[in-house]
Amino acid sequence: MTDVPPTEPPFHRAKWPFYWIARVTGRYFQTMETALEPIGIDVPSYRVLMTLYEDHHVSVSAIADACVIKLSTATRIVQRMTADGLVVTRPSPRDRRVTEVSLTAKGETLRHQVKAIAESVLAQAFEGVSDAEREALNSLLAGVFGRLKG
Amino acid sequence: MTDVPPTEPPFHRAKWPFYWIARVTGRYFQTMETALEPIGIDVPSYRVLMTLYEDHHVSVSAIADACVIKLSTATRIVQRMTADGLVVTRPSPRDRRVTEVSLTAKGETLRHQVKAIAESVLAQAFEGVSDAEREALNSLLAGVFGRLKG
DNA sequence: TCACATTACGTGAAAATTCACGTAAATAAG
DNA sequence: CTTATTTACGTGAATTTTCACGTAATGTGA
Protein backbone atom coordinates (compact mmCIF):
# COMPACT_ATOMS: atom_id res chain seq x y z
CA MET A 1 0.00 0.00 0.00
CA THR A 2 1.38 3.36 -0.99
CA ASP A 3 0.37 6.69 0.39
CA VAL A 4 -1.85 8.73 -1.82
CA PRO A 5 -0.96 12.39 -2.18
CA PRO A 6 -3.23 14.75 -0.23
CA THR A 7 -4.87 16.15 -3.34
CA GLU A 8 -8.54 16.96 -3.23
CA PRO A 9 -11.00 14.59 -4.79
CA PRO A 10 -12.16 15.87 -8.15
CA PHE A 11 -15.33 17.90 -8.12
CA HIS A 12 -17.42 18.97 -11.06
CA ARG A 13 -20.60 20.98 -10.77
CA ALA A 14 -21.76 19.52 -14.07
CA LYS A 15 -22.17 16.12 -12.38
CA TRP A 16 -24.23 17.62 -9.58
CA PRO A 17 -27.96 17.32 -10.21
CA PHE A 18 -28.87 20.29 -8.01
CA TYR A 19 -26.52 22.46 -9.99
CA TRP A 20 -28.55 21.83 -13.12
CA ILE A 21 -31.88 22.00 -11.35
CA ALA A 22 -31.09 25.40 -9.87
CA ARG A 23 -29.66 26.57 -13.17
CA VAL A 24 -32.71 25.52 -15.18
CA THR A 25 -35.05 27.14 -12.66
CA GLY A 26 -33.10 30.40 -12.78
CA ARG A 27 -33.04 30.55 -16.55
CA TYR A 28 -36.65 29.46 -16.80
CA PHE A 29 -37.87 32.31 -14.62
CA GLN A 30 -35.63 34.68 -16.52
CA THR A 31 -37.11 33.48 -19.80
CA MET A 32 -40.66 33.73 -18.49
CA GLU A 33 -40.02 37.21 -17.18
CA THR A 34 -39.09 38.34 -20.66
CA ALA A 35 -41.94 36.44 -22.30
CA LEU A 36 -44.51 37.84 -19.86
CA GLU A 37 -43.35 41.42 -20.08
CA PRO A 38 -45.65 42.32 -23.02
CA ILE A 39 -48.74 41.48 -20.97
CA GLY A 40 -47.44 43.15 -17.81
CA ILE A 41 -47.26 40.10 -15.57
CA ASP A 42 -44.26 39.30 -13.39
CA VAL A 43 -43.09 35.84 -12.41
CA PRO A 44 -44.63 35.71 -8.92
CA SER A 45 -48.02 36.68 -10.37
CA TYR A 46 -47.60 34.10 -13.11
CA ARG A 47 -46.99 31.40 -10.53
CA VAL A 48 -50.09 32.38 -8.59
CA LEU A 49 -52.20 32.53 -11.75
CA MET A 50 -51.14 28.99 -12.63
CA THR A 51 -51.89 27.83 -9.10
CA LEU A 52 -55.40 29.16 -9.55
CA TYR A 53 -55.81 27.18 -12.74
CA GLU A 54 -56.94 23.99 -11.08
CA ASP A 55 -59.03 25.28 -8.21
CA HIS A 56 -61.17 28.38 -8.11
CA HIS A 57 -60.75 29.23 -4.44
CA VAL A 58 -57.27 28.76 -3.04
CA SER A 59 -56.02 29.84 0.35
CA VAL A 60 -52.97 32.04 0.75
CA SER A 61 -51.13 29.26 2.53
CA ALA A 62 -51.91 26.80 -0.27
CA ILE A 63 -50.43 29.31 -2.71
CA ALA A 64 -47.34 29.65 -0.53
CA ASP A 65 -46.99 25.88 -0.46
CA ALA A 66 -47.46 25.42 -4.21
CA CYS A 67 -44.91 28.12 -5.02
CA VAL A 68 -42.50 27.16 -2.19
CA ILE A 69 -42.42 30.69 -0.82
CA LYS A 70 -42.99 32.11 2.66
CA LEU A 71 -46.53 32.76 3.78
CA SER A 72 -45.86 36.46 4.25
CA THR A 73 -44.47 36.67 0.72
CA ALA A 74 -47.60 35.03 -0.61
CA THR A 75 -49.69 37.55 1.30
CA ARG A 76 -47.83 40.40 -0.36
CA ILE A 77 -48.04 38.97 -3.86
CA VAL A 78 -51.79 38.50 -3.45
CA GLN A 79 -52.04 42.09 -2.22
CA ARG A 80 -50.29 43.33 -5.34
CA MET A 81 -52.47 41.20 -7.58
CA THR A 82 -55.55 42.50 -5.81
CA ALA A 83 -54.38 46.06 -6.41
CA ASP A 84 -53.89 45.15 -10.08
CA GLY A 85 -57.42 43.77 -10.25
CA LEU A 86 -56.36 40.21 -11.04
CA VAL A 87 -57.78 38.50 -7.94
CA VAL A 88 -60.16 39.10 -5.08
CA THR A 89 -60.03 37.70 -1.57
CA ARG A 90 -62.60 36.77 1.04
CA PRO A 91 -62.50 35.01 4.38
CA SER A 92 -63.34 31.35 4.06
CA PRO A 93 -66.85 30.57 5.31
CA ARG A 94 -65.56 27.29 6.79
CA ASP A 95 -62.58 28.70 8.62
CA ARG A 96 -62.47 32.43 9.04
CA ARG A 97 -58.74 32.48 9.63
CA VAL A 98 -58.32 31.44 5.99
CA THR A 99 -58.19 33.96 3.15
CA GLU A 100 -59.49 32.50 -0.08
CA VAL A 101 -58.14 33.90 -3.32
CA SER A 102 -60.00 33.73 -6.63
CA LEU A 103 -59.64 35.24 -10.08
CA THR A 104 -61.50 38.26 -11.37
CA ALA A 105 -62.68 38.43 -14.98
CA LYS A 106 -59.48 40.28 -15.80
CA GLY A 107 -57.47 37.59 -14.06
CA GLU A 108 -59.32 34.88 -16.02
CA THR A 109 -58.39 36.51 -19.29
CA LEU A 110 -54.74 36.86 -18.37
CA ARG A 111 -54.59 33.34 -17.06
CA HIS A 112 -55.20 31.99 -20.54
CA GLN A 113 -52.68 34.28 -22.18
CA VAL A 114 -50.15 33.35 -19.55
CA LYS A 115 -50.75 29.65 -20.06
CA ALA A 116 -50.25 29.99 -23.81
CA ILE A 117 -46.94 31.76 -23.22
CA ALA A 118 -45.80 29.16 -20.73
CA GLU A 119 -46.70 26.38 -23.13
CA SER A 120 -44.64 27.84 -25.92
CA VAL A 121 -41.65 28.24 -23.64
CA LEU A 122 -42.10 24.65 -22.50
CA ALA A 123 -42.36 23.38 -26.07
CA GLN A 124 -39.13 25.04 -27.01
CA ALA A 125 -37.25 23.94 -23.91
CA PHE A 126 -38.36 20.32 -24.33
CA GLU A 127 -37.98 20.11 -28.08
CA GLY A 128 -36.76 16.63 -28.93
CA VAL A 129 -37.58 15.23 -25.49
CA SER A 130 -40.00 12.32 -25.66
CA ASP A 131 -43.17 12.05 -23.62
CA ALA A 132 -41.67 9.08 -21.80
CA GLU A 133 -38.61 11.09 -20.83
CA ARG A 134 -40.79 13.92 -19.63
CA GLU A 135 -42.85 11.63 -17.47
CA ALA A 136 -39.74 9.99 -16.09
CA LEU A 137 -38.41 13.44 -15.25
CA ASN A 138 -41.63 14.40 -13.49
CA SER A 139 -41.75 11.30 -11.35
CA LEU A 140 -38.05 11.42 -10.55
CA LEU A 141 -38.35 15.03 -9.41
CA ALA A 142 -41.51 14.31 -7.45
CA GLY A 143 -39.58 11.61 -5.62
CA VAL A 144 -36.65 13.92 -4.92
CA PHE A 145 -39.03 16.58 -3.66
CA GLY A 146 -40.60 14.10 -1.28
CA ARG A 147 -37.25 13.02 0.12
CA LEU A 148 -36.09 16.56 0.77
CA LYS A 149 -36.82 17.55 4.32
CA GLY A 150 -38.56 20.88 4.86
CA MET B 1 -69.11 14.99 -35.91
CA THR B 2 -70.63 16.36 -32.75
CA ASP B 3 -69.87 19.64 -31.10
CA VAL B 4 -67.72 19.41 -28.04
CA PRO B 5 -68.79 21.45 -25.05
CA PRO B 6 -66.74 24.59 -24.46
CA THR B 7 -65.10 23.24 -21.33
CA GLU B 8 -61.50 24.03 -20.68
CA PRO B 9 -58.89 21.46 -21.53
CA PRO B 10 -57.73 19.66 -18.40
CA PHE B 11 -54.65 21.10 -16.79
CA HIS B 12 -52.56 19.54 -14.08
CA ARG B 13 -49.47 21.13 -12.61
CA ALA B 14 -48.18 17.69 -11.72
CA LYS B 15 -47.66 16.95 -15.44
CA TRP B 16 -45.74 20.16 -15.94
CA PRO B 17 -41.96 19.65 -15.71
CA PHE B 18 -41.23 23.23 -14.71
CA TYR B 19 -43.62 22.90 -11.82
CA TRP B 20 -41.52 20.13 -10.35
CA ILE B 21 -38.24 21.75 -11.23
CA ALA B 22 -39.19 24.98 -9.47
CA ARG B 23 -40.60 23.03 -6.56
CA VAL B 24 -37.46 20.94 -6.08
CA THR B 25 -35.26 24.02 -6.30
CA GLY B 26 -37.33 25.84 -3.71
CA ARG B 27 -37.34 22.97 -1.28
CA TYR B 28 -33.66 22.25 -1.91
CA PHE B 29 -32.62 25.77 -0.98
CA GLN B 30 -34.91 25.64 2.01
CA THR B 31 -33.33 22.36 3.13
CA MET B 32 -29.83 23.70 2.58
CA GLU B 33 -30.64 26.86 4.50
CA THR B 34 -31.54 24.76 7.51
CA ALA B 35 -28.58 22.43 7.09
CA LEU B 36 -26.12 25.32 6.74
CA GLU B 37 -27.44 27.29 9.69
CA PRO B 38 -25.10 25.62 12.24
CA ILE B 39 -22.03 26.87 10.38
CA GLY B 40 -23.45 30.33 9.73
CA ILE B 41 -23.56 30.21 5.94
CA ASP B 42 -26.55 31.32 3.91
CA VAL B 43 -27.61 29.90 0.56
CA PRO B 44 -26.13 32.63 -1.66
CA SER B 45 -22.77 32.24 0.08
CA TYR B 46 -23.01 28.48 -0.29
CA ARG B 47 -23.55 28.81 -4.01
CA VAL B 48 -20.53 31.07 -4.36
CA LEU B 49 -18.38 28.76 -2.26
CA MET B 50 -19.25 25.85 -4.53
CA THR B 51 -18.53 27.95 -7.60
CA LEU B 52 -15.07 28.57 -6.17
CA TYR B 53 -14.50 24.84 -5.77
CA GLU B 54 -13.29 24.24 -9.28
CA ASP B 55 -11.31 27.37 -9.99
CA HIS B 56 -9.32 29.44 -7.53
CA HIS B 57 -9.83 32.83 -9.13
CA VAL B 58 -13.31 33.50 -10.45
CA SER B 59 -14.68 36.79 -11.73
CA VAL B 60 -17.83 38.33 -10.32
CA SER B 61 -19.57 37.96 -13.65
CA ALA B 62 -18.64 34.26 -13.85
CA ILE B 63 -20.20 33.84 -10.40
CA ALA B 64 -23.34 35.62 -11.55
CA ASP B 65 -23.52 33.36 -14.56
CA ALA B 66 -22.98 30.15 -12.60
CA CYS B 67 -25.63 31.08 -10.04
CA VAL B 68 -28.02 32.63 -12.62
CA ILE B 69 -28.28 35.86 -10.68
CA LYS B 70 -27.83 39.49 -11.72
CA LEU B 71 -24.35 40.90 -11.78
CA SER B 72 -25.19 43.53 -9.18
CA THR B 73 -26.52 40.84 -6.88
CA ALA B 74 -23.29 38.90 -7.26
CA THR B 75 -21.35 42.04 -6.42
CA ARG B 76 -23.32 42.42 -3.20
CA ILE B 77 -22.96 38.79 -2.16
CA VAL B 78 -19.21 38.96 -2.69
CA GLN B 79 -19.14 42.16 -0.61
CA ARG B 80 -20.89 40.39 2.24
CA MET B 81 -18.57 37.40 2.01
CA THR B 82 -15.59 39.73 2.01
CA ALA B 83 -16.90 41.40 5.16
CA ASP B 84 -17.27 37.92 6.69
CA GLY B 85 -13.68 37.09 5.79
CA LEU B 86 -14.57 34.23 3.45
CA VAL B 87 -13.14 35.67 0.24
CA VAL B 88 -10.84 38.39 -1.00
CA THR B 89 -10.97 40.29 -4.28
CA ARG B 90 -8.41 41.87 -6.54
CA PRO B 91 -8.49 43.41 -9.99
CA SER B 92 -7.44 40.92 -12.62
CA PRO B 93 -3.92 41.54 -13.90
CA ARG B 94 -5.06 40.59 -17.41
CA ASP B 95 -8.14 42.80 -17.54
CA ARG B 96 -8.47 45.43 -14.89
CA ARG B 97 -12.21 45.75 -15.34
CA VAL B 98 -12.51 42.27 -13.91
CA THR B 99 -12.74 41.61 -10.17
CA GLU B 100 -11.29 38.23 -9.30
CA VAL B 101 -12.67 36.49 -6.22
CA SER B 102 -10.74 33.87 -4.27
CA LEU B 103 -11.08 32.06 -0.98
CA THR B 104 -9.35 32.98 2.24
CA ALA B 105 -8.12 30.30 4.63
CA LYS B 106 -11.37 30.65 6.52
CA GLY B 107 -13.28 30.27 3.27
CA GLU B 108 -11.28 27.16 2.39
CA THR B 109 -12.22 25.54 5.66
CA LEU B 110 -15.89 26.31 5.28
CA ARG B 111 -15.91 25.18 1.69
CA HIS B 112 -15.16 21.64 2.78
CA GLN B 113 -17.76 21.64 5.54
CA VAL B 114 -20.30 23.04 3.13
CA LYS B 115 -19.52 20.39 0.55
CA ALA B 116 -19.97 17.63 3.10
CA ILE B 117 -23.36 19.02 4.08
CA ALA B 118 -24.43 19.37 0.45
CA GLU B 119 -23.38 15.79 -0.23
CA SER B 120 -25.43 14.41 2.60
CA VAL B 121 -28.50 16.31 1.44
CA LEU B 122 -27.90 15.04 -2.08
CA ALA B 123 -27.51 11.46 -0.88
CA GLN B 124 -30.81 11.59 0.95
CA ALA B 125 -32.68 13.28 -1.87
CA PHE B 126 -31.41 10.79 -4.44
CA GLU B 127 -31.73 7.69 -2.32
CA GLY B 128 -32.77 4.83 -4.56
CA VAL B 129 -31.95 6.71 -7.76
CA SER B 130 -29.40 4.88 -9.91
CA ASP B 131 -26.28 6.49 -11.31
CA ALA B 132 -27.68 6.04 -14.80
CA GLU B 133 -30.84 7.89 -13.86
CA ARG B 134 -28.81 10.68 -12.32
CA GLU B 135 -26.71 11.07 -15.42
CA ALA B 136 -29.78 11.03 -17.63
CA LEU B 137 -31.25 13.75 -15.44
CA ASN B 138 -28.12 15.84 -15.72
CA SER B 139 -27.93 15.64 -19.47
CA LEU B 140 -31.63 16.20 -19.95
CA LEU B 141 -31.50 19.32 -17.78
CA ALA B 142 -28.36 20.55 -19.50
CA GLY B 143 -30.22 20.27 -22.78
CA VAL B 144 -33.25 22.10 -21.45
CA PHE B 145 -31.01 24.82 -20.08
CA GLY B 146 -29.39 25.25 -23.46
CA ARG B 147 -32.72 25.55 -25.24
CA LEU B 148 -34.06 28.18 -22.87
CA LYS B 149 -33.45 31.63 -24.28
CA GLY B 150 -31.84 34.13 -21.94
C1' DT C 1 -66.30 25.13 30.10
C1' DC C 2 -61.70 26.91 30.57
C1' DA C 3 -56.97 27.16 29.72
C1' DC C 4 -53.47 26.41 26.39
C1' DA C 5 -51.43 25.27 22.05
C1' DT C 6 -51.70 25.65 17.06
C1' DT C 7 -52.84 27.63 12.69
C1' DA C 8 -53.60 31.32 9.19
C1' DC C 9 -52.82 35.61 8.19
C1' DG C 10 -51.34 40.60 8.25
C1' DT C 11 -47.81 44.23 9.03
C1' DG C 12 -43.77 47.20 10.41
C1' DA C 13 -38.97 46.79 10.13
C1' DA C 14 -34.91 44.68 8.21
C1' DA C 15 -32.48 42.42 4.64
C1' DA C 16 -31.80 40.95 -0.02
C1' DT C 17 -32.38 41.62 -4.82
C1' DT C 18 -32.83 44.29 -8.71
C1' DC C 19 -33.02 48.55 -11.51
C1' DA C 20 -30.99 52.60 -13.42
C1' DC C 21 -27.17 54.86 -13.98
C1' DG C 22 -22.27 56.03 -13.95
C1' DT C 23 -17.23 54.97 -14.45
C1' DA C 24 -13.25 52.88 -16.15
C1' DA C 25 -10.97 49.62 -19.12
C1' DA C 26 -10.77 47.01 -23.28
C1' DT C 27 -12.08 46.41 -28.06
C1' DA C 28 -13.47 47.83 -32.77
C1' DA C 29 -13.95 51.05 -36.47
C1' DG C 30 -12.22 54.57 -39.24
C1' DC D 1 -4.15 57.58 -33.14
C1' DT D 2 -8.94 58.90 -32.34
C1' DT D 3 -13.53 57.94 -31.57
C1' DA D 4 -17.26 55.13 -30.75
C1' DT D 5 -18.91 50.77 -28.70
C1' DT D 6 -18.85 47.14 -25.56
C1' DT D 7 -17.84 44.98 -21.24
C1' DA D 8 -17.26 44.53 -16.13
C1' DC D 9 -18.26 46.36 -12.16
C1' DG D 10 -19.97 49.43 -8.32
C1' DT D 11 -23.67 52.16 -6.05
C1' DG D 12 -27.91 54.89 -4.71
C1' DA D 13 -32.73 54.22 -4.99
C1' DA D 14 -36.66 51.36 -5.56
C1' DT D 15 -38.75 46.99 -5.19
C1' DT D 16 -39.30 42.46 -3.28
C1' DT D 17 -38.74 39.15 0.07
C1' DT D 18 -38.26 37.79 4.58
C1' DC D 19 -38.17 38.17 9.68
C1' DA D 20 -40.31 39.05 14.00
C1' DC D 21 -44.21 39.85 16.12
C1' DG D 22 -49.13 40.41 16.96
C1' DT D 23 -54.09 39.07 16.39
C1' DA D 24 -57.92 36.29 15.72
C1' DA D 25 -59.94 31.79 14.94
C1' DT D 26 -59.63 26.91 15.57
C1' DG D 27 -58.38 22.72 17.87
C1' DT D 28 -57.26 20.05 22.27
C1' DG D 29 -57.22 18.28 26.76
C1' DA D 30 -58.71 18.28 31.51
pLDDT at position B61: 97
The whole-number pLDDT of residue A4 equals 57
Cβ distance of A124 and B15 shorter than 8 Å? no
* pLDDT computed for residue B128 by the predictor: 96
Q: Decide if A68 touches B, using CB distance below 8 A.
A: yes
**How much of chain A exceeds pLDDT 90, in percent?**
87
> How is A61-95 classified by DSSP, letter by letter?
HHHHHHHT--HHHHHHHHHHHHHTTSEEEEE-SS-
In tens, the pLDDT along A9-40 reads 678 888 999 999 999 999 999 999 999 999 99
Distances (CA, A) of B2 to A80, A141, B5, B6, B126: 44, 40, 9, 12, 49
CATH topology of domain A41-123: Arc Repressor Mutant, subunit A (1.10.10)
Q: Mean of the per-residue pLDDT values for chain A?
A: 93
Please calculate the CA angle B48-A9-B47 and round it to the nearest 5 degrees: 10
Residue A150 has pLDDT above 70, yes or no: no
Is B118 near strand C, with its CB below 7 A from some atom of it? no
The mean per-residue pLDDT over the stretch A49-55 comes to 92
End-to-end CA distance of chain A: 44
Share of chain B above pLDDT 70, in %: 93
Instruction: Give pLDDT, residue A6.
Output: 58
Bigger pLDDT: A82 vs B150: A82
Contact B33, B42 (CB under 8 A): yes
* Residue from B105, B131, B117 nearest B50 by CA: B117
Read off the pTM. Answer: 0.92
pLDDT score for A92:
97
Q: Which letter, b or e, does each residue of A108-125 get, where b requires 16 or more Cβ atoms within 10 Å of its Cβ?
A: eebbeebbebbeebbeeb
pLDDT at B119: 96
Query: Mean pLDDT over residues A100-114, rounded?
Result: 96
Residue nearest C20, CA–C1′ metric:
B72
Other beta carbons within 10 angstroms of residue B24's beta carbon come to: 26
Return the DSSP state at A37: G
Task: Note the strand D nucleotides within 7 A of protein beta carbons.
Answer: 7-12, 16-20, 24-27
Q: Is the pLDDT of residue B112 over 60?
A: yes
Protein CA A61 to sugar C1' D26 (Å): 16
Residues of chain A with pLDDT > 70, as a percent, come to 93
| Strand C contacts in B 34-93 (CB under 7 A) | 42, 44, 69-70, 72-73, 76-77, 80
The answer to whether residue A7 neighbours chain B at the CB level (below 8 Å) is: no
Percentage above 90 pLDDT, chain B: 87
Distance, CA of A110 to CA of B10 (rounded, Å): 17
**For the segment A128-149, what is each residue's pLDDT rounded down to a tens digit?**
999 999 999 999 999 999 999 8
pLDDT tens figures, B26-63: 999 999 999 999 999 999 999 999 999 889 999 999 99
pLDDT for position A11: 81
d(CA B118, CA B125): 11
